[in-house]
Each structure stands twice: as structure tokens, then as C-alpha cells.
Chains A and B, each alone.
Chain A
Amino acid sequence: MTMKLVVVGNGMVGHKLLEELATLQPPGLDVTVLCEETRPAYDRVHLSEFFTGKTAEDLSLVTPGFFEQAGMHLRLATRAVGIDRAMKRVTTSDGEVIAYDKLVIATGSTPFIPAIPGNDRPGCLVYRTLDDLAALAQWGGRSRHGVVIGGGLLGLECAKAVRDMGLETHVVEFAARLMAVQVDDIGGQVLRKSIEDLGLVVHTGKNTQQITEGQTLRHRMSFADGSHLETDLIVFSAGIRPRDELARQSELGVGQRGGIMVDNFCRTRDRDVYAIGECAQWGGKVFGLVAPGYDMARVVANHLHALLIRKPAPALPEFAGADMSTKLKLMGVDVASIGDAHGATPGSRSYQFSDGRRQVYKKLVVSEDGKRLLGGVLVGDATDYGTLLQMMLNGMDLPEAPESLILPAADGKAKPGLAVEALPASAQICSCNNVSKGQLCNAVAAGATSIGSLKEVTKAGTACGGCVPLVTQIMKVEMKRQGLAVSNHLCEHFAYSRQELYHLVRVERIRRFDELLARHGKGLGCDICKPTVASILASCWNEFVLQQEHASLQDSNDYFLANIQKDGTYSVVPRMPGGEVTPDGLIAIGAVARKYGLYTKLTGGQRVDMFGARLEQLPLIWEELIAAGFESGHAYGKSLRTVKSCVGSTWCRYGVQDSVGAAINLENRYKGLRSPHKLKFAVSGCARECAEAQSKDVGIIATEKGWNLYVCGNGGMKPRHAELLAGDLDTDTLIRYVDRFLMFYIRTADRLQRTSVWRDNLEGGMDYLRDVVIHDRLGIGDELEADMRHVVDTYECEWKKAVSDPQVRRRFQHFVNSDAGDDQVAFVPERGQIRPATSEEKRRRLGRIPVVVETE
């Protein structure tokens, strides 16, 4: 049997349904998707990241090729305008009529715009779709002052975006406190204080009555209490309303406060029509979060699948309501609400803790007998969210004194946290993606032993991210249980991770590999631990990498300060900070390349690479380059490679800052810095981004007011866009943040872990990184800067040292007992330069040319 399924709406939930169906692969299904927006499903939960540099593609939820599958038809920019249930057809905005056997409505909701006169003035906006955000960004660019109407979850998120655009930002809330739904009075106050400290202005208990032409700014808002406020733009974020208009028109049954009424299988009163996501109402409730929507999508997918394969219904999953606990970070302030946050359960008791100085507020709601956790509120510090949520969801026993769960730990005494071992395998850890503890453990057993791979395999933690700390904990415990905890050991010689070795080196002030090996390792070491420790020693003490004690630790590339090529020759890359080079410099490089017969090409890093140098030629070549004013380019090291630049304000008609000057300064500052993997920077002179800064470990983009700092991007095998760490920085702050960022990375990353992978594995992600770098949450900011100062102050060009040290120079010869060159190296001409001979070419040649034999 074939079934024609029509899905109205390709939002988060509608798309989840399609994905679930694609996994179940029911036979004979033909799906038409009507998508009102111009682009298919994207991640609305992370919508605000549009403002920190994420593009529509980054946010897309559609895997490549998804809509090219057989039996899948996507209609973009197509709205459903009517349902004819009798004839079982849907009419689209283009007048097309599409027949269905089954229909799923997944139309989501729209922002509620209060009926205030003037609410349709230009510059009155909403915050729901990518187009809305693009419009906000446009208006933001032309405004100095912005107001967000609504101090709920979305309103505050939106206010942050407005503030990050550099506008003076006000939040106007009708209720007496912020986030009235999720937190209680005191929680609201603490939240308000924290937000005001960040420079936002909060007005509560304000009823906006009209919006008119402003006198100093674009609009004037007049309030019921007679006061007014002038502003350039207004965003309405005063709640959402289910988009149930199709259901109303086709008499499908809509709840009093909106929402299409559905049963446990998410069916409407018409057996052939389902409704899921934010447009649906179940048990008198509309769920404004994505996790319940995903649940509904799974239920419907299974239901449709069962119909197609004629499976009996009783075995099918049903929608059973959802826990509305939430955790989020609003402008750097943790806010969490769990279960019955307001203590509405009869007989319930509550415990509260507040710390005015740290702006922390915590509340627990427990059952009458004090045995079970019913709910809670956390403001300012939500680290215990995952633990408390699991205690509530799994009805676990509370400790003797439940208040100990929210009181700060007394010195030396561990908090009676949640032993994740105690969680049942069925416990749902990631509610967004319905991943249980059991599934996580299985994935770990199957080899997902880093948080990055665990996310990839199970999808846990990939939506709201709230469960990541708990997922990490479970992963660690499970790895230990399976005897896998050894996997962070660097190699068989050291039972430590790179990060642990780094600390040992620092704390015990160890300066030699042998010393570290004697104290903390075994065996002789190997090609993994030796270069890693060499890099750590260089990051910490910055001694010459080729001095006797360190030389034998270096990879061939570092040992000879050049990149080895496939034929055993080397490449030579002089540094050209920012890609800037004088004509004389170019001529000098050309002269050297010609003299030594090197193959010459421009690299992707804005400099010149010369290939085919023999070992014994390297010091001679470098002597000449140094005489011409060049320094080592460290193309061989796990260290700073290049800082790419665009031409910037000096020449370019659009440039707003001197990007070349900035790039040169940065490259000179960090050149030679040894790190867990290579580091690449770029600086662009304006938002056109000609230097491709967003694909770098550190990317800097000029703004009218200073610099935007992006971090943790890369090209290569798995390209990643960098993310905005901080905006509009002056040059000094920029350098300070980069110092801290780099040193923190150097201290904590694994061997050969690029910044993007490191960031993925960082518990708490970007927010945590911001906390450490900007807010100095760990209190190590000064230390990190001092470490960097040491490296910067002790910089020396390695090649300059190498050529002037006779001991080191001696190593640059192919034979210890002969001045002959390596007879295995052979070149053939190509396009006017040399290239390595192939083995076939070599064989032919070696046959003819007699081998030089040295006699003693």
C-alpha cells in the first residue's frame, strides 16, 4: 500500500518527524512537505547564534541529500492556506491542490504582538525566524537604542542580541518580575540585579499603551502609569501563540487558549490529521519547548509506520506530557527551573539559599515527607541542574538534609551529589533527543569515548546542550567501569593526559624530558610522548628546541627546523608577517631559490614556500635569508603558522581598521609559540572578511569601534566556522583576550587537538570559555597573561640560533662520514622548475649514473 503524507511546516518538529520516518523506512510512503519559509528546517533553539557569526547553513538541520531521497518532495516558500477534510486535500498559497491520505500539521507558533496602537510602525519587530533576525540586524545597524517588550525567556535572549549589537538596551515587562513563569520572586530579583549589572535597563510592571512618533528617537512608548520611553527599535517578545489557523478553518478542534487538540497519538479529532509541536495542545497544555515536540514527532512517526506495516497499535509509544524543566544562560547568568518551581503541590515544603555577593539564588521544593524532590529554581549558578533534574525525574531518595544539595560545600566536604551510578539505565538524560543513560553507556562501550564522538553517535547534548555536564559524567564513569579510563593516557610511557603532564611540568618545574620520564613515566619514550613533552617544555620555559637536552625529542621537522618532504628533502618557509613583503624581500627570496635550484610556490598562508632543499643546504639557505632580514616561519612546528591579513583601511575603500598592521603585530607577538597543534590567525579590515578570519583558530574582524574576536575555527578535513568570543574590543583588550585564550588552550588541550575539537570537548562550551577568558571565572587570567609574556619576551629566531651554533650546524649533513649528498634524491624538470623524480624515473636514472663510493 502507498500512503500520501502531507506535512505542513518544516520547522524543528516537522523536520524531526521526517528524520524519524527516514530512519524507520516505512514502505510505500510518499511525503510532500510544505514549508512557508524560504529555507528548510533550521535550529531555532540556537537562532541567536546568528548574531555570533553562525550562518543559515550552520544552523540548518537538513543533512546533505536529505530532500533528494526518493518519495520526498519539499516545497519551499509555500504556505498551506486551507484544508478540505472531506476531499482530503490541502490548498497552497499558489493555489495548488495537494491530496493526502494522512496530514500532519506542524506549523509551530507565532510571536504574540499585544494589540497596542502603533505596534506596526516600521522598526517594530519580532524574534522567531532567521528572516526576523536579519531584519533586526538591519535595523540594529541604524539604531542606538532598543527596547524588548517581554522579560521572559525569549525576551531576555533577544535583549542580549540587541545589546551585543551595541545598542543601549531596555527590557519592558508587564509582570512584576522577570521570567515570571520559570522563577519565583527572589529568583527574579537576583536575575534582574545580574542583568542590570551588565548594563541593561529593566522596567517591570509596565503596561505599554501606545507607540507613537518619538521626539528624540524613532518611537515613543507611552505606559499606563503616565511615563514614557523613547527608542529606535522595538522587539515584541511577549509570548507565543500556536499557529492553529488551519485547524480553525477546517474545524479540527482548538483549545480555549489556542492549540490544536490532540490525543496520545497526536491525532486530532480527524483520524487522518495529526498535529505536533508548538501548534498542538495536549492535556490542556501547549508546550513551548522543543523536547516535547520531538517526542510528539517520534510518536507520530511510529504511528504512521505501524499503519503502513499493519502493526497492532498497542505496542506503540504514546505522548505522555513532558517535563518543562529548563536551563539556560541569559547574558552569562545561569537560570534554571525544575518541575514544580513555584511549590504548587499541596503540602510541599521549600528550602532556599541566597548569596547576595555572588548573586546566586537556589530553591528546592520537596514533598511533604521530605523524601522526594518536586522542583527547584537556580539563578546565578546552575551547575547542579542535571543532578537535581535526575533526582526529580527518577523519584530518587533525597539525602537526610535536602538543603545540603543547594548549600555551598563546607571546606573539604564533598557535596552529596548524585551518584550517576545510581541512575537506572532507563533514565532519560537528554530530553531534547530522548537519549537514556543506557544508550549512552552502550555508545561508550562501542567506542565513543570522547564527548565529541558521544554527541555524534547518540545526538545527546546536540540541541539545548543542557545535559552535556551529565552526559560527560556518565561517559567518564562508564569508561572507568569498563576499564577504559586509561584512554586519555598519552602513550604507554606516561599514564597521564597531556593536560596532566603540563601541570606536572609546571608544578614541579621540570625542565627536561629525562627528569619527567624518571619521575612519572617508564620505558624510553616514543614518537608520541617525546614531541608532546618537547612542546610542553617549550610552551612553559621556551628554551631553544635544539639545545642538546631537547634535540632528541623533536620530530624530524623540528629537529631540522624544516618540513620533510616525501623524498627526504625539506621545504623552507621564511616568515612574512601578515603576508606583507617588500620588493627587495621578494627579490632576495627569488635569488636564494634560484641559487639553490628550489621549487617555489605561494602557500595558502600568504607566503612563499621553497621545496627540494637538501639537509646540508638548509643552514646555507637560511644564512642568506637571515642576512636578507627573514626569520623562521615555523611552518614545521606545532606553533603559530601565519596571521593572514586583508589589505584593510590603508588602501581598501571599505576597510575600517588597519588589518595589516594588526596582523603583523599579532604574528610578531605569537611567532614561535609552541602549542598542542598548529595555530592559524587572520585579520580582516571589515565585515567583507577577505582574510577569511572565521575559518581560523583566532579570527579578528574590524568593526567601526574596534575588533570582533572569533575563536576555534579551522579549515582542513573538518571545516569549522569560528565563533564570536567578544565584540568591539580595543586593541589592548584584544591582545589580552588572545593571550588568555591561547594559554588556556595550551594548558588544557590534548595532543594534536585543534582549537575547535578542544572547544567541543570543553564542558560548558563557548559560555565557559567566555567565563574563563573574559570574566576570569577561574581567577587565572593574570597567570595566563604572565605565561604568555614570558614566551613573548624570550622569543628568538630558531634559525638564527641554529646557524650560529656549530654543534647544531654539524647535524645538517646527510652522511656523518662523507660530504656526498643523498643519492636517492633526484629531480626532474617540470614547468620550468624541479619536482621529485618518481621511483620509475629514479630507477632509470640510477641505472645510468654510477653511485659515488667514498673510500677511507
Chain B
Amino acid sequence: MSHDMTQIDWTTVCQIDEIVPNTGVCALVGGEQVAVFRLGDGALFAIDNIDPNSGASVLSRGLLGSLGERVVVASPIYKQHFDLRSGECLEAPEHGVRAWQVRREGDAIQVRRGDR
């Protein structure tokens, strides 16, 4: 493993084929739940998994889609939409979540905290 500073806090969470295209999975990263999504075209996104509107850890199980230019996931509990790039909650701005950085290294999917 490389000890390059920019690489050090990336965590490998799964292999690419472990995420069905156009769905998400939930990863445990340093005690936190991260929802990681894979679009049909290969684009990857990651946000917090806990839905602030219900308190349930379920965002990885939401349906993916687009609203205008935004790529969003709909919470399966009360259907609010979260912007996958920013974590913004479209219906309830006070209930936004954090977006995580995510990348593909070979077949590995890696995430780390912070803005993209």
C-alpha cells in the first residue's frame, strides 16, 4: 500500500461488481454509514446513509434518478430527494447530508470524507 498523503485516508469498501448498476450499497467507514451509488454509465457517488428526515439508515436503499440536471436518490421512507453531488435535501434543506468522495481504483471502490 502506498503511503502517499492524498491516498492515505481512502478506504476500499467493495468491488465494482458488488454494486448492481443504478443502485447503492451501504459501507461502514470508521464507524460511520456511507451510501455508495453506481449509475448505469459507471459514475459513482457517496453520501451519508442516515436519512435525517426519519433517522433510519436507509439512503443506500433509495431509488436513483435525475431531477433536471441533478442526480438524486429518493429516501425509501418519506421520499425526499437528496442531491448525490452535494448531499442537499431538495424538499427539506435543513435536512441535508454530507457528500463523500468516491473513486474507482481498478475494480475497487474507495471512499473518503470531505468534499469532492
Contact = CB atoms under 8 A, between A and B. Distances in A.
A465 B79 CA distance: 38
B52 to A, nearest CB: 11
Nearest to B74: A527
Contacts of A531: 63
A853 B56 contact: no
B20 A551 contact: yes
A55 to B, nearest CB: 37
Number of chain A interface residues as a range: 35 or more
A568 B63 contact: no
Contacts of A820: 28
Nearest to A850: B31
B57 A530 contact: no
Contacts of A524: 39-40, 64-66, 71
A853 B30 contact: yes
Given A555-B63, A555-B76, A568 B57 contact: yes
B91 interface: no
Interface string A162-203: 000000000000000000000000000000000000000000
A271 to B, nearest CB: 63
B101 interface: no
Nearest to A564: B76
Instruction: Tell me which of A526, A551, A853 has the highest count of chain B C-beta atoms within 10 A of its own C-beta.
Output: A526
B65 A816 contact: no
Given A567-B56, A568-B57, A839-B55, A817 B27 contact: yes
B61 to A, nearest CB: 5
Interface stretch (A327-335, A373-381, A807-815): A807-815
Interface string B46-59: 00001000111110
A526 B66 contact: yes
Contacts of A523: 65-66
A853 B22 CA distance: 28
A551 B14 contact: no
Contacts of B30: 853
Contacts of A817: 13-14, 27-28
A677 B8 CA distance: 50
A810 B74 contact: no
A23 interface: no
Contacts of B19: 816
Contact of A556 (B36, B58, B67, B68): B58
A818 B28 contact: yes
Given A514-B40, A564-B77, A526 B63 contact: yes
Instruction: Tell me which of A529, A568, A811, A824 has the highest count of chain B C-beta atoms within 10 A of its own C-beta.
Output: A568
B55 A853 contact: no
Interface string A831-853: 00000000100100000000101
A605 interface: no
A853 B31 contact: yes
Contacts of B12: 856
27 contacts: A492-B67, A492-B68, A524-B39, A524-B40, A524-B66, A525-B65, A526-B65, A526-B67, A526-B72, A527-B79, A551-B20, A552-B20, A552-B63, A554-B63, A556-B58, A564-B58, A567-B54, A568-B57, A810-B18, A815-B27, A816-B26, A817-B13, A822-B57, A824-B57, A853-B28, A853-B30, A856-B11
Given A817-B28, A853-B28, 9 more contacts: A524-B66, A526-B74, A555-B63, A567-B55, A568-B56, A810-B18, A815-B26, A816-B14, A853-B30
